[in-house]
Amino acid sequence: GQNIDQPTEMTATEGAIVQINCTYQTSGFNGLFWYQQHAGEAPTFLSYNVLDGLEEKGRFSSFLSRSKGYSYLLLKELQMKDSASYLCAVSAWPYNAGNNRKLIWGLGTSLAVNP
């Protein structure tokens, strides 16, 4: 079956670094997404990985290992506003075959940043 696993909750301190892991088991793989969702708001796109390695975007970086079915989102210099849920999503067959354009979503990791 298709499955995505993320920790349910994490806490970290302002100014620190935190790594949020995501593992997936899918029939195929076309790309992995990270989204940020503040409480009561819609998810917003953070990053996309399709090749192995690290993609850096300011304070946020995302890493992918396709052979291990593993990704992480790294947040540096944490700020209070980074308190949010972080969703991992995968594009994989058959959900992206033909006219399908569906993503497989994890349940999200709720990150609390403390002062």
Residue ranges binding another protein (CB under 8 A) = 30-31, 33, 40-45, 48, 87, 91, 96, 99-103, 105-108
Tell the smallest beta-carbon distance from residue 102 to another protein (Å). 6
CA distance 106 to 90: 8
CB 63 within 8 A of CB 49: yes
**Rg of the chain, C-alpha, whole Å:** 14
- CB of 17 or CB of 50, closer to another protein: 50
- CB of 60 or CB of 76, closer to another protein: 60
Residues 6+ apart with CB under 8 A from 98: none
- CB of 67 or CB of 99, closer to another protein: 99
- CB of 54 or CB of 97, closer to another protein: 97
Tell the smallest beta-carbon distance from residue 88 to another protein (Å). 10
Q: DSSP letters of 48-68?
A: EE-SSEEEEETTEEEEEETTT
Tell the smallest beta-carbon distance from residue 115 to another protein (Å). 26
Tell the smallest beta-carbon distance from residue 68 to another protein (Å). 21
Residue type, 61: S
